[in-house]
Amino acid sequence: MSQISITDWKTVGRGCLVASFTVELPSGIQIREMGFFTKPEAQGPPKKWVSGPARSYKTKDGTPAFAQLLAFRTREIGVKFSGEVLAAVDQFLLGIHP
């Protein structure tokens, strides 16, 4: 797996959103305003996921919604990227909380 760096970690603690952060890819590309989320599960460890930057808007009926700004050619590529970023977040958190 390639080395992905996590920087600019900002704890949010709003609903399932734990923090926002920047991902730096080995190529030097930085993706800002990523989100790290957790949700308690009835059994077992909490569900964890990451989300790319998004623009908020309201639907026709006024419900808040988000449009993702980062897209992947296939679902498999997106799942792989999310898994790599989540692994980098886990490593980052281990460094903060040894």
The predicted-structure confidence for 20-30, as pLDDT tens digits, reads as follows 999 999 999 99
* The pLDDT value given to residue 8: 96
Biggest CA pair distance of the chain: 47
pTM greater than 0.95 (yes/no): no
Residues of the domain holding 61: 5-96
List pLDDT tens digits, range 42-67. 888 889 999 999 999 999 999 999 99
DSSP letter for each residue of 59-90: -TTS-EEEEES---SSHHHHHHHHHHHHHHHH
Residues 21, 7 contacting (CB under 8 angstroms): yes
What is the average pLDDT score of the chain? 92
Pairing of strands 64-68, 54-58: antiparallel
Query: Residue 52 in contact with residue 70, Cβ under 8 Å?
Result: yes
Total domain count for the chain? 1
